[in-house]
A and B are shown apart, each in its own frame.
Chain A
């Protein structure tokens, strides 16, 4: 039924990752409502969802920039992206 979508395991895992993160945020929101709103180092008022969005958007740019400038392999940008995600949830 889904063959027209041309699924592959790596892309499926990416989406499973994103949807799992959203599910975790939903559970957190039900347990601790209010979105854990705070004003971070960038001067932005962010909730947990905003921080996930900023992490993911930043991650895509880190990978795209690395691909455009250096090309494969992508271990370094993976490391940078993880650091960026940690930074977002910790400080932003």
Chain B
């Protein structure tokens, strides 16, 4: 009889406990909050599914959701091709490899709130290096505290600066794992650079790119700290992304019931898009 060693389960146990305490129990609590109303003091009143109905029909939620999708779409459209392009341009061996890798990794080492504060100061029209240069040297009116377009350009540029490196490093890891034999075969066949990219490099990078896009989707869809520190959701509500609006409702207005309902809808969207994306990207592997 074939004996199976079940000890592996013991090694999974700590992760399970950790996930239970930092994810499952909090989510259960949010589900409980979402059907009740509270005024504090741990006293709750039954509300049913009214909060869900209210959130799903609210203009404010639709607007914040639209801004969130726009932000994520722009970030992905810019960061993924740019990351791949930078990874392709990086040297594969020699002195410059560690220099490039460390330079690329630097933005990711900076805490999120510091990134927000840095870009805030950097783009201020009177004292910021970029803001001053654009306004006073080039004569372009640029003020992210007044102009919604400037605010959007700033948060997108900030995210590209902060997170393109992740795509670069993952793509680079995929590129260096391609054996030389593939390139030699392509050279013998007289393949163009585009063909090498399309039929050798891109397929070999598929797995790491799946992870990169998935991580960038989830992170950008759930982003809070950087735009909050940079613009605070303004001017007006122009950069109030879903997470910023959620915190305004939960902590600013102390409407825990609607905020919990909104969190669950937010979670359902993140879950569905991540699942769809992962399933579609890995569909061919299962065959």
Residues of A within 8 A of B (CB): 3-8, 10-11, 14-15, 43-45, 53, 57, 60-61, 64, 67-68, 71-72, 74
> Is B195 engaged at the interface, CB distance under 8 Å to the other chain?
no
A69 to B87: give the CA distance in the assembly, Å: 46
Contacts of A74 in B (CB 8 A): 49
> Hey, which chain A residues are within 8 Å of B33, CB to CB?
6
Which residues of B are in contact with A by a Cβ distance under 8 Å?
25, 28-29, 31-33, 35-36, 38, 42, 44, 46, 48-49, 52-53, 56-57, 265, 268, 271-272, 275, 279, 283, 286-287
Q: Is the CB of A68 within 8 A of B38?
A: no
- List residues of chain B with CB within 8 A of the CB of A11: 28, 31-32, 35
Question: Complex formed: what's the CA distance from A61 to B265 in Å?
Answer: 9
Q: Which residues of B contact A15 (CB under 8 A)?
A: 28, 31
* B29 & A72 in contact (Cβ 8 Å cutoff): no
CB of B32 within 8 A of CB of A7, answer yes
Q: A53 — which chain B residues lie within 8 A by C-beta?
A: 275
Contact between B56 and A68, CB atoms less than 8 A apart: yes
The CA of A19 and the CA of B44, in the complex, are separated in Å by 25
Interface of B is mostly: helix
| Additional A-B contacts beyond A8-B44, A67-B56 (4; CB < 8 A) | A5-B28, A6-B33, A44-B283, A64-B268
* Residue in chain B with minimal CB distance to A73: B49
Chain A residues in 8 Å Cβ range of B29:
4-6
Q: Are A60 and B268 in contact (CB under 8 A)?
A: yes
Contact of B25 among A5, A45, A57 (CB under 8 A): A5
Given A11-B31, A60-B268, A64-B265, does the pair A6, B38 have CB atoms closer than 8 Å?
Answer: yes
Beyond A8-B32, A45-B286, A61-B268, whether A68 also contacts B53 by CB under 8 A is yes
Which residues of A lie under 8 Å from residue B36 when comparing CB positions?
6, 8
B268: which A residues are within 8 A, CB to CB?
57, 60-61, 64
Q: Which of B31, B42, B53, B265 contacts A4 (CB 8 A)?
A: B42
By a CB distance below 8 angstroms, the chain A residues around B31 are 11, 14-15
Contact B53 A67, beta carbon cutoff 8 Å: yes
Chain B residues within 8 Å of A61, by CB: 268, 272
Complexed CA–CA distance, A43 and B283 (Å): 8
Chain A min CB distance to B56 (Å): 3
In the complex with contacts A67-B56, A68-B57, A5-B32 CB distance below 8 A: yes
Q: Which 8 A-B pairs have the closest CB atoms?
A: A68-B56, A45-B286, A6-B32, A5-B29, A6-B44, A67-B53, A11-B32, A67-B52
